Amino acid sequence: MRELTAHSYAEAERFLDEVPRFTKKNPLEDTAGFYDYIQQYENGRYREETLGKIIHVAGTNGKGSVCAFLQKICMESGLRTGMFTSPHLVTTRERFCVDGCVISEEEFTAAFNWLSARIAEYCCVRQEYSPTYFERLFFMGIYVFARAGVEVTILETGLGGRLDTTNVIRNPWMTVITEIGLDHMAYLGDTLEKIAFEKAGILKAGVPVVFSDRKSAVSAVIRRRAKELGCECHAVSENDYKINEIQKKFIDFSVVSRYYGYGRLIVETTGVYQVENAAVAIRAIEEAAAGTIETVTEETIQKGIRKMRWACRMEEIRPGVFIDGAHNEDGIAAFVQSLNMSPDLCGAGGRCVLIFSVVRDKQYDKMIEMLCGLAMVTDFVVTHIPGERGAGLMELGALFERYADRSTQAVYTCERIEDALAYGLSARGDTGRVYIVGSLYLAGIVEDSLEDCDDRF
């Protein structure tokens, strides 16, 4: 596609949307070639070293939350921090944060135009190279973080790890692998071992790795790759943390620390899965900063964990209305566990409404079966994510009809997400609950639609 100059943020976003998002990736060596090319500008202003210390994070579930925990700990420790994550919910700018703040429209437009100029120049050398949507965002992130003068860059992989665009980086400070499950199997493989191999592709020779030690088959793959590359290997298992108390708005927990005598920590969420994510982030920053960054202390870690906020992870977006980004079997299992362990989440009286949709490439039969086992749910509202990626409404509805307890649970279908949300808000009553799960795409549309619903209810 012809490279264009954007005169506004809306124009830049529109141009980006014209780049196909789910086309075949470029070979990583081609992406690395352009990565090397852009580092030559302005006397090396965009070299990898200008991104500060890089923490590279991969995984199936929890990697965005781990990035957010790390960001907050680094900020509390006085480190200027950049964070690159995906996907976004409402605006593409969400993918780029500096010190916890989404970049401005002007900064986004400047990054877009800088990158467009570099691509146009590079095409004189390598005419066949055309960056994908995700590649463009990654390279824009390099521009944003280099110009911001960050000291730490937290980099979340897009899909996989070994062949992911972000894996062009060569000298990370630390690599992190969160929980791995069966997801994106068409791209990453149909077994946990194959998927773990792809995720472990971010490991670099001599760079320490922290990983979630939840599944033995996965851990064996990561340990083997770490040994091959001479990486210090730090596992975080269920033995490394303990939930002390679950309250209506927070979880009180403890973590086994290698360096600090932790008492209790607080994470301000009711998603129990965030305790493991916090434990992984704590171990990662402890190992990375040990002996090198004195400002990372027990106090800054505790403050960072408590202050972390991450959108759409058991987030109460309105009183009694929760969004959770669970979008695969393991994510749904964690969501179900959170509800079953937190009676306060079920509400006192009123109805408990669950709104669900999913993209078609997920294993949603098992997801729906698990959700229907939530006895506190009185109403399931099935809706459709617009476009070709959304799973068929009638098929989803039929699966809920099959698994729901029809003596206590009603099933409704609404083609439009806005109508599903409006029904859920109406049906729950004054004291009930609404949960929205199944997809981050669904969560993003709901976030964007809430203001209209607020006008109606």
pLDDT in tens, the chain (457 residues): 578 889 999 999 999 988 876 566 789 999 999 999 999 889 899 999 999 999 999 999 999 999 999 999 999 999 999 999 998 888 999 999 999 999 999 999 999 999 999 999 998 888 788 899 999 999 999 999 999 999 999 999 998 899 999 999 999 999 999 999 887 767 788 899 999 999 999 999 999 999 999 999 999 999 999 999 999 999 999 999 999 998 878 999 999 887 766 778 999 988 888 999 999 999 999 999 988 899 999 999 999 999 998 887 888 888 889 999 888 898 899 899 988 887 665 555 678 999 999 988 888 999 999 999 999 999 999 999 998 888 999 999 999 999 999 899 999 999 999 999 999 999 988 888 999 999 888 888 887 777 665 555 4
Q: Is residue 139 part of a domain?
A: yes
Side-chain half-sphere exposure of 52, counting CA atoms within 13 A = 22
Q: Is residue 2 part of a domain?
A: no
Does 129 share its domain with 275?
yes
Does 291 share its domain with 328?
no
Q: Is residue 248 part of a domain?
A: yes
Does 95 share its domain with 223?
yes
Determine the distance from the C-alpha atom of residue 83 to the mean position of all C-alpha atoms in its chain, rounded to a whole number: 11
Reduced to 3 DSSP states, what percent helix, strand and coil does the chain have, rounded to the nearest 5? 45, 15, 40
Q: Is residue 206 part of a domain?
A: yes
Q: Is residue 77 part of a domain?
A: yes
Does 290 share its domain with 343?
no
Helices (H) and strands (E) in the chain, counts: 15, 17
Residue 357, Cβ density class (10 Å: 0-12 exposed, 13-18 middle, ≥19 buried): buried
Does 129 share its domain with 237?
yes
Does 202 share its domain with 238?
yes
Tokens of 388: 């070709």
pLDDT number for residue 185: 67
Q: Which CATH number covers residue 412?
A: 3.90.190.20
Alpha helices in 39-132 (DSSP H): 63-76, 105-122
Name the domain boundary from 307, 328, 356: 307
Does 296 share its domain with 367?
no
Q: Which CATH number covers residue 32?
A: 3.40.1190.10
Residues 6+ apart with CB under 8 A from 324: 271, 312, 313, 314, 315, 331, 335, 338, 435, 436, 437, 443
Does 146 share its domain with 253?
yes
Name the domain boundary from 307, 336, 358: 307
Q: Is the peptide bond before 87 cis (omega within 30 degrees of 0)?
A: yes
Residues 6+ apart with CB under 8 A from 221: 193, 196, 197, 200
Q: Is residue 150 part of a domain?
A: yes
CA–CA dist 95, 329 (Å, integer): 25
Q: Is residue 1 part of a domain?
A: no
CA–CA dist 173, 271 (Å, integer): 29
Q: Say how many domains are in the chain.
A: 2
Does 303 share its domain with 333?
no
Does 415 share its domain with 361?
yes
Does 41 share its domain with 158?
yes
pLDDT number for residue 270: 82
Q: Which amino acid type is present at position 246?
A: I
Name the domain boundary from 307, 335, 355: 307
Q: Is residue 3 part of a domain?
A: no
- Residues across the chain: 457
Does 57 share its domain with 150?
yes
Which residues form the domain of 169?
A: 9-307
> Residue holding tokens 């078609």?
360
pLDDT number for residue 1: 55
